[in-house]
Structure 1
Amino acid sequence: MTDPATIRAILFDKDGTLLDYEKTWGTINRAAAALAAHGDHALAMRLLDIGGIDPASGLTRADSLLAAGNTSEIAQAWVAAGSPYGVADLTAALDDLFTQSATRAVPVTDLDALFQRLTARGLILGIASSDSEAAIRATLRTLGVSGHVRCAIGYDSGHGSKPGPGMLLGFAAAIGIAPAEIAVVGDNLHDMEMARSGGAGLRIGVLTGTGRQETLAAAADLCLPSIADLEGQLFRQLV
């Protein structure tokens, strides 16, 4: 594991990392499927299944389309499965729904306090999400933490999408440091692959999303219950 003393920035995933995934997205995902199905309940149920919602538990499967895909990928899959919308129109409608739903965000911990402590250590913070940049910024405003975050990168920000390295490389370029000086924190294998392919200094998995210990531990340098445990792990030798 890279010495935490060499880490100068942290790039967080949003959903399942900063936000409790099921508490935030359970209702939103169902609203999205209902929108895409245009009143066809049976089709909405099929779209949820395609998206990765387990019909028995109602939970979202790890690394599934709804867990890790971006809005365009979700729209493409749902149109192929029978949604009456065109891909571009459905993508725009879902992005609008997701942005408006930022008010439903349920943080996993007191993000304002955590971000204040991290930035007080001199760390630069960023967000890289498969959501749109507008939805990320709306969420940050809802949670009152916009001032702590230097860079918000969505799937539509021009850096490509996960699991490619573009979001990490874009963040590194924006803040002027090497990827090896950045820790990436996320709840899915897409996040860990972005970190690996982009040369991040640390890959940190968290279990507040859809990922599971068995899916993340092998791909991460650290696997934590929550970002609430981040400081104790990264800086335990300094505390």
Structure 2
Amino acid sequence: MIKGIIFDKDGTLFDFNATWGAWTRRMLEAEVGGDPALFDALAEVMGYDPVGERFHPGSVVIASTVSETADHMLQVLKGVDKADLIARMNAAATQVVQVEAAPLVPYFDTLRQTDLALGIATNDAESSALRHLERAGVRQHFDFIAGYDSGHGAKPGPGQMQAFCALTGLDAGVCAMVGDSLHDLDAGRAAGMLTIGVLTGPAPAEELAPQADVVLPTIADIPGWLRGQSLL
């Protein structure tokens, strides 16, 4: 039986492209100061389609920490201070309007009735994650919330998963990791958890399948699948 579920945030609780697509265009425009050639170069290094306002599968942004994303941006933004860039990105990210992959309040209200331990493991900053969960009205449902800067490392390492197990007292074998990227699934597997891929991020099913016990359309499909497998 599954007794705990730890979720990625962006691309899992929130539709990745619907949330970050238009925001990223505005952020890049602000960074390049109206230089179209610099804008195009920055979009390319980030794996971003500014016309469709979408990220390409395999974009460095999908599963990277803000620090790693900044490193790629600095290949183009010469002379920009990394700490200042990260501060601007984190400040802007707290203001983004998140598009829910499924109605989150009723979803987590229902999950809580099953007595599951619930967690968040994101490569976003913890402060951004807390703000986004508060705005969605679901922060109180989670026993554990960790960002890349929470002291447990970042995915694909298993540190956030291990910290979730340590806090809840659960063995990894009775926990599931849910995410939209290989970083999420690799982290879950490294910790010894069941891994569930969802398709609300840019990665297609065929990319996720080798590292997932199952790939589902959205988080809304997870309870039914677990019941069907006699795991809930």
For Structure 1 versus Structure 2, the TM-score category normalised by the shorter chain is over 0.9
- Please show how residues 184-223 of structure 1 align to structure 2 within 5 Å: 184-200=177-193, 202-223=194-215
Report the AA paired with residue 232 of structure 1. Answer: G
User: How many Å apart are 1:34 and its aligned residue?
Assistant: 2.4
TM-score when normalising by structure 1? 0.91
| Residues 1:41 and 2:33 are matched in the alignment | no
Counterpart-to-counterpart distance in 1, 2:26 and 2:65: 16
Aligned to 1:105: 98
1:170 to 1:38, Cα distance in 2 relative to 1, 3 A: farther
2:48 is paired with a residue whose SS is coil
Partner residue of 2:138 out of 140, 145, 164 = 145
Partner residue of 1:59 out of 54, 65, 79 = 54
Report the AA paired with residue 98 of structure 2. Answer: A
1:179 to 1:32, Cα distance in 2 relative to 1, 3 A: farther
1:56-110 per-residue CA deviation (whole Å, 9 max, x = no partner) reads 6442122321111111011111112224421111111111111122xx0110111
Unaligned runs of 5+ in 2: none
Identity of aligned residues (%): 40
Aligned to 1:232: 224
Identify the range of structure 1 (62-71 vs 112-121) with the bigger mean alpha-carbon deviation.
62-71
Counterpart-to-counterpart distance in 1, 2:158 and 2:26: 31
Counterpart-to-counterpart distance in 2, 1:162 and 1:85: 26
Counterpart-to-counterpart distance in 2, 1:186 and 1:22: 15
The two structures, once aligned, show a CA RMSD in angstroms of 1.7
Counterpart-to-counterpart distance in 2, 1:182 and 1:98: 29
User: How many Å apart are 1:159 and its aligned residue?
Assistant: 1.0
Identify the range of structure 1 (161-170 vs 229-238) with the bigger mean alpha-carbon deviation.
229-238
Contact 1:62 1:188 in 2 (8 A): no
1:122 is paired with a residue whose SS is coil
TM-score when normalising by structure 2? 0.93
Aligned to 1:92: 87
- Please show how residues 9-48 of structure 1 align to structure 2 within 5 Å: 9-48=4-43
Counterpart-to-counterpart distance in 1, 2:83 and 2:123: 17
Counterpart-to-counterpart distance in 2, 1:75 and 1:36: 12
Counterpart-to-counterpart distance in 2, 1:225 and 1:41: 37
Counterpart-to-counterpart distance in 2, 1:173 and 1:26: 35
User: How many Å apart are 1:30 and its aligned residue?
Assistant: 1.5
| Runs of 4+ that moved beyond 3 A | 54-58
